[in-house]
Amino acid sequence: MTNKIFRAGLQLSLAAVSLSILFILLSLYSYLNKGQEDSLGEEMKLIETGLALNGISYLESLEKGEIRITLVSEEGKILFDSKGNKETMENHLHREEIESAFIKGIGKSQRMSKTLLEKNTYLAKKQKDGRVLRLSVTTISMGGLVLSLLTEIAAVLLLSLLLAIFLSLRLAKNIVKPINQLDLDSPNKNDIYEEISPLLSRIEKQRKAINRQLKELRNKNDEFLQVIDCMKEGLILLDKEMKILSFNAEAKKFFDVGNEWIGKDFLNIYRNLDFIETLEQAALRGKAKYFAEKAERKYQFNISKIESQNEFLGLVIVIFDISERLMAEQSRREFSANVSHELRTPLQSIMGSAELLENGLVRKEDEADFIGKIRSEADRLLTLIEDIIKLSHLDEGKGFEMEAVRPAEAIKEVLGLLSQKAQNAEVKLFFEEWDSVAEISGVKQMVTDIIYNLCENGIKYNKKGGEVRISLFEEEKMVRISIKDTGIGIPLEHRDRVFERFYCVDKSRSKRNGGTGLGLAIVKHAVSFLEGKIELISEVDMGTEVIISLPKV
Ligand code: ADP
């Protein structure tokens, strides 16, 4: 812009100076011309009078000056010429001014010299005797004038050029300076040129629109980052050069890096040839999977290609922690193996006893024992199958309807079911909060199963004369049920494992008591289904307390 203004200023100044010079030259030229013409007229009057009085001798007596005097006869012959040789001069009848003087009485004309630097001005007048008196003067032509003033003109032009450069530069700078200092953050506050106000208003409008769009984009980006940060899976976005565009909190945790890695090469974080190959495959085929292990946990990477209009834009990597899934698969496999083993044992025992009886190999007096054994093993088998069915229902987690359940009612029901068992084991059952109306959100049968299994364990693993105390506490959001016995307790090393399926601290005691090793597994599952918590406090030979907290309605 500075350049443009500078050039325009310079052109304008030079044009103005050139025009002025031209005008001055023209004025000067016309002034000179007019002076000459006037003086020719004056001279004509004087010489005419002298010629009329004294004839050609008057003309001859005149001193040779600037004015050339010529006298031409009616035939065009030169009778007198103050500067030329009249004998050698050609006939002048057809000279423009002379011809005109013969016709109109007076004639004027101008002719350029050969060099064009000079100009002859002629004034001819017809005399009373018919002859024509012609005066002429040589004056400078326009070209000659320009040539004679060339140095001055050049000097003026040069000076004007320098002045124009200096002034144009200053002008351009002065115009541009406030524009350069515009505060574009608040365009409307600038008060410089009225002419650029519409432009500034437009900039202000666009600035507001851009700010609004930027804010929206930032909000969307923040939303996106917050959403991906809430994901429990790791997420990484890579551009086509494998540079990190974004990654979420889980991914950062996985690779143990921070935001400073955004924009950097992902392959520098995770240098692994197999992985790099998998990325290349994903870029080629669209999808690929990769498995990794870290801190004893197993991870699956799902890599997908991002494309737009057939153009490869980058990759998205989602990292899943599959340890739980693999463990669940493993425990399901183990459970199936355990189930078949646990079912086979009582069945084999039943079949063995039945075979002996069938073949008459049992003495008469032992028959009742064998039949009793068959019955107790069948009982155990039934309990086992019932527990397995309960567990598989809980595994599926379907078909249960949540309702308001009063734990006090469930406890009373369990006490009724277990009173005979407690009597046989010489264990006393206590429950004091008979009137509690606290309600939890759950499934009645599930709550009853939880309390039944815990109370039954309290009886089974107790000592003669021992007791099982059931307490109910109502809190702001939860109901706590404590089942505390005075039994044999659970050794520390077993405490974490007793909730596993088929886990028994003492297999033979458990079997003697009709245990299946599934009771606490059912309790754990049911409590987690009801979104509650379990606490186990135990001391060997002193007793065990299990506290269940379940959310209130
Ligand atoms: P089981 O059918 O064998 O009782 P559980 O899953 O109910 O199976 O319990 C698992 C194991 O935990 C039991 O075999 C027992 O050794 C131990 N156990 C459970 N409850 C108690 C308790 N109240 N006192 C002592 N040991 C217990």
**CB-based contacts of 349, cutoff 8 Å, min separation 6:** 373, 377
- Work out the angle between the directed axes of helices 444-460 and 519-529 (0-180°, nearest 10): 150
Residue-wise pLDDT tens digits, 206-215: 989 999 999 9
Residue-wise pLDDT tens digits, 161-220: 899 889 888 888 888 887 888 777 877 777 777 777 888 888 889 989 999 999 999 999
Residue-wise pLDDT tens digits, 404-445: 999 999 999 999 999 999 999 999 999 988 888 999 999 999
The answer on pLDDT for 281 being more than 90 is: yes
Amino acid at 308: S
User: Across-strand partners of 288?
Assistant: 303
The answer on pLDDT for 396 being more than 90 is: no
Q: What distance in Å separates the CA atoms of residue 285 and residue 109, rounded to the nearest whole number?
A: 100
Give the number of the atom of ligand 1 that is nearest the alpha carbon of residue 505.
Answer: 16
Q: Is 490 in the pocket of ligand 1 (CB under 6 A)?
A: yes
455 close to 468: Cβ distance less than 8 angstroms: yes
448 close to 470: Cβ distance less than 8 angstroms: no
Residue-level pLDDT at 112: 83
Strand ranges (E), 395-506: 403-405, 428-431, 440-442, 467-474, 478-485
Cβ neighbours of 108 (radius 10 Å): 16
Instruction: For residue 45, give Cα distances in angstroms to 74, 107, 125, 431, 538.
Output: 20, 15, 10, 160, 155
Give the number of the atom of ligand 1 that is nearest the alpha carbon of residue 453.
Answer: 7
Q: Is 504 in the pocket of ligand 1 (CB under 6 A)?
A: yes
Q: Is 517 in the pocket of ligand 1 (CB under 6 A)?
A: yes
Mutation test residue for ligand 1: of 460, 470, 501, 542, the one with most atoms within 8 Å of CB = 460
Q: Is 505 in the pocket of ligand 1 (CB under 6 A)?
A: yes
Mutation test residue for ligand 1: of 450, 457, 496, the one with most atoms within 8 Å of CB = 457
Q: Is 503 in the pocket of ligand 1 (CB under 6 A)?
A: yes
The answer on pLDDT for 107 being more than 90 is: yes
Nearest CA to 518 among 499, 531, 494?
499
The answer on pLDDT for 277 being more than 80 is: yes
- CA 517 to ligand 1 center in whole angstroms: 7
Nearest CA to 239 among 262, 255, 220?
262
Residue-level pLDDT at 526: 95
Mutation test residue for ligand 1: of 418, 520, 522, 540, the one with most atoms within 8 Å of CB = 520
What is the pLDDT confidence band of residue 480, given thresholds at 50, 70 and 90?
very high
Give the number of the atom of ligand 1 that is nearest the alpha carbon of residue 510.
Answer: 3
Q: Which long-range CB contacts under 8 A does 535-539 form with residues at least 24 apart?
A: 536/490, 536/495, 536/498, 538/489, 538/490, 538/495, 539/489
Going by alpha carbons, the residue nearest to atom 25 of ligand 1 is 489
- CA 515 to ligand 1 center in whole angstroms: 8
353 close to 268: Cβ distance less than 8 angstroms: no
Q: Is 543 in the pocket of ligand 1 (CB under 6 A)?
A: no
- CA 141 to ligand 1 center in whole angstroms: 136
Give the number of the atom of ligand 1 that is nearest the alpha carbon of residue 546.
Answer: 23
Mutation test residue for ligand 1: of 427, 510, 516, the one with most atoms within 8 Å of CB = 510
534 close to 523: Cβ distance less than 8 angstroms: yes
47 close to 127: Cβ distance less than 8 angstroms: no
Q: Is 466 in the pocket of ligand 1 (CB under 6 A)?
A: no
Helix, strand, coil tally for the chain in percent (to 5):
55, 20, 25
Q: Is 498 in the pocket of ligand 1 (CB under 6 A)?
A: yes
Q: Is 9 in the pocket of ligand 1 (CB under 6 A)?
A: no
Strands, sheet with 106-112, edge to edge from the N-terminal-most edge strand: 78-81, 68-72, 132-140, 118-126, 106-112
294 close to 272: Cβ distance less than 8 angstroms: no
Cβ neighbours of 170 (radius 10 Å): 12
Three-state DSSP class for residue 435: coil
Residue 198 corresponds to which tokens in the numbers above?
Answer: 């519409």
- CA 457 to ligand 1 center in whole angstroms: 6
